[in-house]
Chain A
Amino acid sequence: MAGPRTLTLPEVQKGQALPELAYDVTATTVVLGALASRDWRPMHHDKDFAQQRNGVRDIFLNTPNQAAWFERYLTDWSGPAGRLGRMRFRMRDSVFPGDRMVFQGQVEDVTVDDAGCGFAEVTVKLAVGDRLCTECAARIALPRTEGDNPWKRKGPDWQP
């Protein structure tokens, strides 16, 4: 059986769009994500608290779980040989049960560093309808050839 699909750097160009991911968020999505990230704060599982103390309409996705969503989105695209080097995100609005969240990504640049490691610089927007909720900029290493493996890099050969 063939191994898992792996994207290589030569297949990636600046301006390229990543496949869109849409997901219908439920209360279970929010609570499972909070518990998976050991975030016990009530605004992520208690609707009354979220409404009365935070002044929002419902419980909402927490930050660490959003990071996990961005990772999933990026590695769905890259395949398992893709190695995240850096991720920066900025929250602008909340994601609630009943929202259909949509991830859209674009390659902003393709580079090879001094150690010979190939990277794609990608921006991802998480939106609900016209509402931009979170922006993410990620640097993900991709194999330059089929035999290359960014995960083998250590020390000075890994400059994320």
Chain B
Amino acid sequence: MSDPTTAAADLPDEVRGWLGKKRYETEGEFDVERGYVFTTCASVENGNPLFWDEKTANDLTDGWIAPPTMISVWFRPHFWAPGRTGIAQPLQVHFDLKEKLGLPEAIMTDNTIVFREPVRPGDRLRTWQVLRSVSEPKRTKLGLGRFWVIDVEYVNQHGESVGTETYTGFGYRRES
């Protein structure tokens, strides 16, 4: 988890109210499964026997696990789902900040992932987002904007933490 929350003095009250609060808690749409593990391993030609050889998996990790860096894969909404209207966005707090602060452009400048309990096929994970900080307005070569830090927490069905992602974003408005 990131440092305690900090915020610029001129933030709108609504945004200030998001600091340190659990938001968008949700359960993954599907169980962790090996099909995606194989596709991910194939995409980067990862031959780590933990994901391909059952004896190695049993000896080292007490059974199959998923590659740790897949942690966010289990929550990305699919391209389409029946009844859904609009585009489902991962990291919704990031998009909320862009909207509420009137910053139409944004980039991610930094991403840290801490890995805890291994994620296993059959797990059903839960996640939530916590806004940790929003800076004073700053001018960079991209434009005038603000930096913010968002933690994304992930837990398994036993309530054990499987990891935390921390994103630093910069929302900005281009200057002509």
Contacts and interface: CB of A to CB of B under 8 A. Distances in A.
Interface residues of A, number: 39
B164 to A, nearest CB: 10
Interface in B53-89: 53, 56, 59-61, 67-70, 72-73, 76-79
Given A4-B49, A64-B72, A84-B68, A69 B44 contact: yes
Chain A interface mostly: mixed
Contacts of A132: none
Interface stretch (B8-16, B18-26, B112-120, B128-136): B112-120
A53 interface: no
Interface of A: 3-4, 23, 29, 32-33, 35-40, 63-65, 67-72, 75-76, 80-81, 83-91, 149, 151, 154, 158, 160
Nearest to A82: B48
Given A3-B59, A37-B73, A151-B60, A68 B43 contact: yes
B70 A68 contact: yes
Contacts of A88: 110-113
23 contacts: A3-B59, A37-B43, A37-B76, A39-B76, A40-B79, A64-B69, A68-B40, A69-B44, A72-B44, A72-B48, A75-B46, A75-B48, A76-B48, A80-B56, A81-B60, A84-B69, A86-B112, A86-B113, A88-B113, A90-B110, A91-B108, A151-B118, A160-B115
B115 A80 contact: no
B40 A90 contact: no
Contacts, number: 108
Nearest to B36: A36
Interface residues of B, number: 39
B50 A68 contact: no
A67 B113 CA distance: 10
Contact of B44 (A33, A84, A89, A151): A33
A67 B114 contact: no
B60 A80 contact: yes
B39 interface: yes
B109 interface: yes
Contacts of B60: 80-81, 149, 151
